[in-house]
Amino acid sequence: MKTPLLLALALAAPDFKPDQRTLPVPAPKGATVLLDGTGKHSFLSMAGGKIDWPVEDGVATSTSNKRNQNHLVSKLHFRDADIHVEFLLPEKGPGNSGVYIHGHYEVQILNSFGKAKVTQEDAGSLYGFAAPAENACRKPGEWQVLDIRYRAPRRDDAGKITEKGTVTVWFNGKKVQDDTGFGEPKSTFHPFRFGNTPYLDKIRDRQTKTATGPVFLQDHGNPVKFRNVWVLPADDRAFVYEPGEK
């Protein structure tokens, strides 16, 4: 049963069924493009500096620092939003990566192609919370797409969650998460617990107070490629956060 807040959000929002038939998908009006077709991007390193992932022909390739702690962090901070990510799995290896929303909740990217039974560790899962409803993963070498409707958890002045967050995820034309609820972060490997930096400390403090935060593209030691990444905020809470700001 939905709480009054989540029910109000559901009634106010149009049905979420993105068209994923033809890639790349153009960013809609009002969206902030984080990585475009020319290679222009709006990402920082976890330290708040320049990224060291190569970006060629509009495609960024995940580059590891050998500790799985070299994620990209968006300058855009938001509360509720639709998030669009297109990715390409490498021909070799597990293709492990992910979309870390607010640095706490991971929509998993993994080479799960052909797997009969999928778990919370497979592509399209909300890692630590829910397996995908079905296996929608394409084989390596084919571009794939995730569209994520994210509603952040609400917290009181003490930081305690008063309303759980939700995600709906469309993956290659299949709805693999349907209003999946989540509470406190579970993973020991999310950026604020594993590889944290002074820059991320600032983000975390602000995020606890405002429920706004960035999206991260994950380094997990695999050269996963990304293109056409954009965010469409659902409210007026979104802003660009530059290093050095309080």
Whether residue 62 is predicted with pLDDT greater than 80 in this model: the reply is yes
* Type of residue numbered 175: K
DSSP 118-180: --TTSTT-BTTTB--SS--PPPTTS-EEEEEEEEPPEE-TTS-EEE-EEEEEEETTEEEEEEE
Query: What integer pLDDT is reported at residue 205 of this predicted model?
Result: 85
Q: Domain locations in the chain? A: 34-240
d(CA 73, CA 69): 11
Stretch 99-108: mean pLDDT:
96
> Mean of the per-residue pLDDT values for the chain?
92
d(CA 151, CA 161): 13
* Type of residue numbered 100: Y
pTM above 0.95, yes or no: no
Q: By the 8 A CB rule, do 25 and 145 touch?
A: yes
Whether residue 78 is predicted with pLDDT greater than 50 in this model: the reply is yes
Given strand 72-74, what is the order of strands in its sheet?
43-44, 72-74, 215-217, 97-101, 105-109
d(CA 18, CA 205): 33
Q: Please, what CATH class does the domain formed by 34-240 belong to?
A: mainly beta
Query: What integer pLDDT is reported at residue 67 of this predicted model?
Result: 85
Query: What integer pLDDT is reported at residue 158 of this predicted model?
Result: 87
Confidence of residue 243 (pLDDT cuts 50, 70, 90): confident
Task: Supply 66's token pair.
Answer: 């050998």
Question: Residue 156 pairs with which residues in a beta bridge?
Answer: none
Stretch 43-53: mean pLDDT:
96
Q: What are phi and psi of 194, to 5 degrees?
A: -135, 105
Task: Express each pLDDT in 207-234 by its tens digit.
Answer: 888 899 999 999 999 999 999 999 999 9
* Type of residue numbered 237: R
Query: What integer pLDDT is reported at residue 191 of this predicted model?
Result: 92
Who has greater pLDDT, 190 or 143?
143
Confidence of residue 6 (pLDDT cuts 50, 70, 90): very low
d(CA 233, CA 5): 18
Query: What integer pLDDT is reported at residue 206 of this predicted model?
Result: 86
Whether residue 241 is predicted with pLDDT greater than 50 in this model: the reply is yes
Query: What integer pLDDT is reported at residue 14 of this predicted model?
Result: 62
Whether residue 187 is predicted with pLDDT greater than 90 in this model: the reply is no
Query: What integer pLDDT is reported at residue 41 of this predicted model?
Result: 97
Query: What integer pLDDT is reported at residue 149 of this predicted model?
Result: 98
Whether residue 9 is predicted with pLDDT greater than 70 in this model: the reply is no
Q: What are phi and psi of 138, to 5 degrees?
A: -90, 170
Task: Supply 238's token pair.
Answer: 């979104």
For residue 120, give every residue at least 6 positions away whose Cβ sits within 8 Å of its Cβ, in sequence order, or none: 108, 126, 127, 128, 129, 130, 131
Whether residue 117 is predicted with pLDDT greater than 60 in this model: the reply is yes
